[in-house]
Amino acid sequence: MLLYTDIQAKSGKSTTGLIMRAFLRFVAANLNRRASLRRYLACADGWLDFSVGMRTESGSVECGIVGRDGVVTASGRVPDDADAVVVFRTDAAARRLLTGTPTDQIYMLLTSEMRVEGSIMYLNLLSFFLSLVFGRMQRSAMERERRTDRKKLLRKSPRARQDLRDGLVVRKAQHLRCAAREPGVRFLADPYLPEYSLDDFPRLRKFLDIHLTEKPEVCPEIPRLLTRWHREHGFEQDASGREWEPVLRKAHAYKYLMENREAIIGEDSLIAGTTTSKRIGCPVYPDGSGGLIWNELLTISHRTHNPFVISDETREFLHNDAFPYWMKRNFREWVRDTYGNPLCQQLDERYAFYFNWKQATISHTIPDFPKMLKIGAGGIIREIRRELGKRCDREKKATLEAMILCLEGLIAYGRNLSKRASQDALREPNPARRDELERLAAICARVPETGARTLDEAVNSLWITWVALHMESMNAGLSLGRLDQWLQPYFAADMKKLKAKEKRAAYVKRAIELIGHLFMRCTDHFPLTPDLANFYFGGSSSDQAITLGGVTPRGGDAVNDMTYVFLKVTEMLSLRDPNVNARYMPGVNSDAYLKRLCEVNLSTAATPSLHNDAAVIASLEKMGYDIRDIRDWSATGCVEPTLSHRHMGHTNMQMMNMVAALEMALNDGRHPLTGLEIGPKTGDPLRGEITSFEEFFSAFTAQLAFLVDSSIEYNHMLAEAHQRIRPTPLLSALIDGCVRKGRDATKGGATYNSSGTALIGLADVTDSLMAVKKLVFEEGVITLPELKRAVDANFKNDPALLALARRKVPLFGSGSDEAVAMANRVAKWAHDHYASLPHYRGGTYTTGFWSMSNHVAFGTLTGALPSGRLAGTPFTPGLTPQPFASKSLLDNIRDVARLDPANLNNNIAFNVKVVPSAGDSREKTVDDMYSYVKTFFELGGMQMQLNVVTSETLRDAMAHPEHYRNLIVRISGYNAYFVTLNRDMQMELIERAEYGI
Amino acid sequence: MNDPLILEIRGNSLDDGPGIRSVVFFKGCPLSCVWCHNPESKRAAAELSFDPDQCVACNTCLARCERTALARKRPGFIDRNKCARCFACADACPSGALSRVGRAMRVSEVAEAVLRDLPFFRNSGGGVTLSGGEPTLFMDFSAELLLTVRRQRVHTLLETCGLFDWDEFSRTMLPHLDAVFFDIKLMDTAAHRRQCGVPNELILANFTRLLECGGTPAVLPRTPLVPGITDTDENLSAIADFLLGLGVSRAALLPYNPMWHGKSAKIGSSDPTAKDAALAAWQDTATIERCRAIFTRRGIAV
């Protein structure tokens, strides 16, 4: 350890130290002297005080910047009790802060070249100040970066390939006819609806064009109304100084928001209501992760990936008013303050171990639309009042009252929409549109307050409720559920009223259009992602999953008319979101249905994702849930099962990097990238302390247990933050159990409770364990220290070992029983460990093996592995086998199907990229796809997601994005527009194994 | 001939018959076509192959060779006169650059390997394709294999050059075949002898006999379009007329690709067509269309 005087001497001598101090002095002088900047030191509550330090690990740099009462000073030391301290690994890293682009800074954070001790909000505030001073430089650096990148791509492929993009267009123009009768389809002449295409729906085409070309705008509506209400009524205490009951505070604030937000009927829309006040908006949730864009307020419209428009007014408001108020009133900082920046939180903020979603939101569940459609918000209020009439303790009473306030807010918003529709109708010159608006006014005069009678009412009720849920809580994976099941009764009721053939045909067309409008309404917002998220969760929308098909609660065939209407809309629009998931029950659902799912996958290149009902249901059967409720499951967010509207399953509680545990096992508890000595001492392979495969396996699981336990500790802290900061009374009113128990969904009110993890790197971990087992302990080809040294050197000096690991070790996906057993062993260990942990809502932790985009992000942050995977390269997506595991896709399919579903109760993502041969007919291509999927399911496979696009096309799209705005790709679980992805993710998709069909 | 060597069993093939198929490639062929796309399948004996692109230059193999047949400086790496084909080097090679071509397998082993894909065959209407090389060089083995997979109600298909003894074929393999892809390359027997090493009378006679079986197995004649050799108007017209005379209404034309050049070097064979510019390029669509028209004009679907 260095003595203080040493550090002083060092920092005195270090050139970087001097430069950094001069830099901060320059910043301070600018903020103090330039009036145009100085005004940002003040906010609605007075001066914005802050103190941020900067240092290097060695102490060669030590400086700080402090703002007090409108005066900024820079100093040569880290302030005592600094709000945040930026720590650089090296002098070079510190200097790169000054010279690098914002993208460089993101990579520095991700790769631990730079880390933060303390409040991220204060760091972001300082970053905002820096961008005030250097904004123009930053923006031109971003522009330069973009231009260079573009030039490089165009050099490689200067000419856009008309033939490739035409190929995708032709696919959409062709339609198969349904050869068989579909028993559940009562009204559609041909369930495949081959007679319709997007050309028949000019409005949908227009919506789609807007969606694909318009930049979303940051929408300040939520923080504006919430902050105003809270400034008046208090947050911790009410105006009279009494401690607020969180659930009641939330409900009052929510009702105010709903009564006062602008009621908007989207241009030309058949559905009333919008989630934001902008045409396409990014809602800001100041109590969650909204503050993460503080540093980007000046640059967000200039960044390369997912740029957002932001008005001067919004920027000023967020900086001066909203963000300062919510500085500590958000989940992350509440945990930091309450628990003293605990290690479990610090690990999360190093990016390489795990990411816990509760720092942004809980979401990830399915609300009770059937009930809302049936009895409306008014009916639910009556149910709650009946419950209030029984004996209630204080919490129950507050919770139920809060639910009523929220539902009243929802009703008020519906009435405002009705009024607005009437006003718009008065001003509308086009008589056809005027009729529609008048009809909407009438619809909203009824729903969502009362039950729906027609498909139009049902869809409006559903959407308005959906909007209302967005106003309560940020949407990440809040999902729409089994809409084909829930809307079919209204479709059938409408249909029965029509007798004439032409009228019925016109109605079917109208129903397709209406569902099309619903899909497009779901695109009226985009999550407010900080730029860092573009590298961590690139291109992900809020992942509003819709689930189709499968079986009914009694086990019968659930496929119906609306299933096919939804499939038609999915096919025509090719949207990334809603994320369409299709269930298929072998032996119950028809071949015609499965073929149609494959055809839609071919048309759209990536959706819907395909689930085997038998395997998903088997995975949930051990949980002790009612079998009828299990059969009623819906996909949530990406792929995860939620027992529709009865289950708070926070199914994307976290992303867990299993490979980090493997690296720690190879390093006796030290994590190589971050250098943190955090894991248990499980033996140093270099010193011969691991002498058998079983010892190595135990070392791996001990490290993983440490990471999992830390992450769960953090999850519980964040859960407590949610209970205090953002209870969800509206959602609770829409999840079975909460009313009866009188408990908020965040506290365990739902009938079923669980939280689901996404474990990342199963194939990479399995293959690495196989390499260690085979090469070191069974065949003795190499010693563990030798293998470890080769891994540390990224196999640079040992190409033979690299080749051996890749070719001679039986890998997961190669058809090896032993490798499948290893994968099952790892999955079972993870499942059993998670299941053994206490759960804060009295439920269970479930385990899934899909990865969103984190197989790329975590891969970037991971060194070489014994499996022969090189440093920094992506892991395989989800649990997909390595492309070189076998020459035959069938081996991959078989091995994945052999995983025991009992360990996969938060589902999986198995990604397969297939490309049709140019000469084949559509029918042949669909038949081939069908054969793979059906066999995979019959063998017991749980989930498969197809990308039907060539690498050549993807490369063309990379260089000429303007031609491919509508091209969706399946990442792992969710869909994204390929052209919005960062380069690493684009390359990962291009390099995935491609199987000709 | 006795038990064959198997070159490869390729699963998940979608181009060698209906549905998803496993293709068993036999080693050894009675023809020697100058354009042969699988030169490693010509000889019936096992061979040592070296692929410089896969070699990581670890030199593991050098120490394993007892006859010093391997040397970095030697073109092609292997001195094939010295090599005793013990394959010790290939067994030790970590990268697969050195490999053994052709593996002795029992019928049961081959059957087990292909039948792993049974569920895929069922759902796709696929099955097993015998290819090569030439499976009819090993009639007893092939017949037993066909019988074994047929017991599982698997669709069977033979890809053949057509040069075999009819009596033996009809006694052994024929009863177990659902379909045959039958190559008809050149109609002129002198040209056939020049380009493929043997005359074609027996081939054409076998084709006729196969058609006389009356549709079981289904027969599809196939003609590889080799630039300047088989894709001439004269040859294709003659083939089309021949087929028309037999009442054939459907045939397949296989467009040429130059991907096979370089395969010969790996097994130390010379490639007599290496410098032929016409054989170095992909066939253009205009040529393919011209060839197709010769058949479609006569009412034969291709």
Question: Which 3-state string (H, E, C) describes A268-322?
Answer: CCCCECCCCCCCCEEECCCCCCHHHHHHHCCCCCCCCCCCCECCHHHHHHHHHHH
Best residue of B8, B12, B254 to probe chain A, by most A CBs closer than 10 Å: B12
- For domain B5-44+102-296, give its CATH number from 3.30.70.260, 3.40.50.920, 3.40.50.300, 3.20.20.70: 3.20.20.70
Whether the per-residue pLDDT at A10 is higher than 80: the answer is no
Whether the per-residue pLDDT at B216 is higher than 80: the answer is yes
Tracing tokens 């270099």 back to the chain, one arrives at: A686
Closest among A465, A501, A267, A269 to A370, alpha carbons compared: A465
Task: Dump strand ranges (E) for A57-135.
Answer: 62-68, 71-75, 84-88, 114-118
Tell me the nearest-neighbour CA distance from A170 into chain B, angstroms.
Answer: 20
Tell me the nearest-neighbour CA distance from A995 into chain B, angstroms.
Answer: 9
Percent of chain B at pLDDT > 70 equals: 99
For A886, which residue in chain B has the nearest alpha carbon?
Answer: B11
Task: For residue B117, give the nearest of A887, A890, A930 by CB distance.
Answer: A890
Q: φ, ψ for residue A433 (rounded to 5)?
A: -70, -35
Mean pLDDT of A688-702: 98
Mean pLDDT of A953-973: 96
Task: For residue A890, give the nearest of B95, B96, B120 by CB distance.
Answer: B120
- Residues of chain B found within 8 Å of residue A997, distances taken between Cβ atoms: 14
Q: What angle do CA B215, B218, B224 make, to 5 degrees?
A: 135
Whether the per-residue pLDDT at A119 is higher than 50: the answer is yes
Chain mean pLDDT for chain B: 94
pLDDT reported for residue A5: 43
Mean pLDDT of A766-794: 97
pLDDT reported for residue B152: 95
Same topology, domains B5-44+102-296 and B47-101? Answer is no
- Which amino acid is it at A849? F
pLDDT band at residue B3, thresholds of 50, 70 and 90? Answer: confident
pLDDT band at residue A14, thresholds of 50, 70 and 90? Answer: confident
Tell me the nearest-neighbour CA distance from A929 into chain B, angstroms.
Answer: 9
- What phi-psi label fits residue A761: left (phi over 0), alpha (psi between -120 and 50 degrees) or beta? left
Whether the per-residue pLDDT at A520 is higher than 90: the answer is yes
Whether the per-residue pLDDT at A2 is higher than 80: the answer is no
Enter the DSSP assignment of A774. Answer: I
Domains of chain A with bracketed CATH: 4-151 (3.30.1050.10), 157-214+483-517+529-639+909-997 (3.20.70.20), 334-359+655-885 (no CATH)
Mean pLDDT of B38-64: 93
| A825, A831, A836, A838 alpha-carbon torsion, rounded to 10° | 160
pLDDT reported for residue A102: 79
Task: For residue B95, give the nearest of A807, A889, A928 by CB distance.
Answer: A807
Chain A contact present for B290, CB below 8 A: no
Whether the per-residue pLDDT at A774 is higher than 50: the answer is yes
| Cα–Cα distance, B252 to B292 (Å, whole number) | 9
pLDDT reported for residue A3: 42
pLDDT band at residue A7, thresholds of 50, 70 and 90? Answer: very low
Whether the per-residue pLDDT at A61 is higher than 70: the answer is yes
pLDDT tens digits, B269-292? 887 777 788 888 889 999 999 999
User: Cβ–Cβ of A931/B123 closer than 8 Å?
Assistant: yes
pLDDT tens digits, A581-627? 999 999 999 999 999 999 999 999 999 999 999 999 999 999 999 99
Enter the DSSP assignment of B78. Answer: B
User: Cβ–Cβ of A799/B95 closer than 8 Å?
Assistant: yes
User: Cβ–Cβ of B120/A997 closer than 8 Å?
Assistant: no
- Residues of chain B found within 8 Å of residue A888, distances taken between Cβ atoms: 10-12
| Cα–Cα distance, A182 to A16 (Å, whole number) | 73
pLDDT reported for residue A1: 37
Q: φ, ψ for residue A225 (rounded to 5)?
A: -70, -40
Between A487 and A1, whose confidence is greater?
A487
Best residue of A804, A888, A893, A895 to probe chain B, by most B CBs closer than 10 Å: A888
Q: What angle do CA A706, A710, A712 make, to 5 degrees?
A: 120
How much is the pTM? Answer: 0.96
pLDDT band at residue B268, thresholds of 50, 70 and 90? Answer: confident
Helix axes A431-446, A455-472, angle to 10 degrees: 70
Domain range list for chain B: 5-44+102-296, 47-101
Tell me the nearest-neighbour CA distance from A970 into chain B, angstroms.
Answer: 23
Sorted by sequence, the CB contacts under 8 Å of residue A672 that are 6+ apart come out as: A663, A792, A863
Mean pLDDT of A459-482: 97
| Cα–Cα distance, A758 to B277 (Å, whole number) | 55
Element (H, E) at A581: strand A579-584
Whether the per-residue pLDDT at A98 is higher than 90: the answer is no
Three-class SS of residue A415? helix
| Cα–Cα distance, A978 to A972 (Å, whole number) | 13
pLDDT band at residue B2, thresholds of 50, 70 and 90? Answer: low
pLDDT reported for residue A469: 98
pLDDT reported for residue A13: 62
Whether the per-residue pLDDT at A161 is higher than 70: the answer is yes
Q: For A99-102, which contacts have Cβ atoms below 8 Å and span 24 or more sequence positions?
A: A100/A141, A101/A138, A101/A141, A101/A142, A101/A144, A101/A145, A102/A138, A102/A141, A102/A142, A102/A296, A102/A299, A102/A303, A102/A531
Chain mean pLDDT for chain A: 95
| Cα–Cα distance, A613 to A901 (Å, whole number) | 11
Sorted by sequence, the CB contacts under 8 Å of residue A712 that are 6+ apart come out as: A837, A845
pLDDT band at residue A103, thresholds of 50, 70 and 90? Answer: confident
Sorted by sequence, the CB contacts under 8 Å of residue A723 that are 6+ apart come out as: A246, A744, A746, A747
Q: What angle do CA B146, B152, B154 make, to 5 degrees?
A: 60
Chain A contact present for B10, CB below 8 A: yes
Burial of A262 (0-12, 13-18, 19+ CB in 10 A): exposed
Tell me the nearest-neighbour CA distance from B175 into chain A, angstroms.
Answer: 28
Between strands A647-648 and A752-760, the pairing is parallel
| Cα–Cα distance, A162 to A173 (Å, whole number) | 16
Whether the per-residue pLDDT at A255 is higher than 90: the answer is yes
- For domain B47-101, give its CATH number from 3.30.70.20, 3.40.50.12780, 3.40.50.1820, 3.30.70.260: 3.30.70.20
For A808, which residue in chain B has the nearest alpha carbon?
Answer: B94
- Residues of chain A found within 8 Å of residue B117, distances taken between Cβ atoms: 890
A93 neighbors A305 (Cβ within 8 angstroms): no
pLDDT reported for residue A4: 42
Count Cβ atoms below 10 Å from residue A12 Cβ, excluding itself: 12
Q: Which residues of A touch B (CB under 8 A)?
A: 799-804, 807-808, 815, 887-891, 894, 917, 927-928, 930-932, 934-935, 938-939, 995-997
Mean pLDDT of A877-905: 95
Sorted by sequence, the CB contacts under 8 Å of residue A40 that are 6+ apart come out as: A31, A48, A128, A129, A132, A319, A320
Mean pLDDT of A777-781: 95
C-alpha separations of B242 from A7, A167, B207, B212, B245 in Å: 95, 38, 11, 15, 5
Q: φ, ψ for residue A526 (rounded to 5)?
A: -140, 140
| Cα–Cα distance, A606 to B189 (Å, whole number) | 52
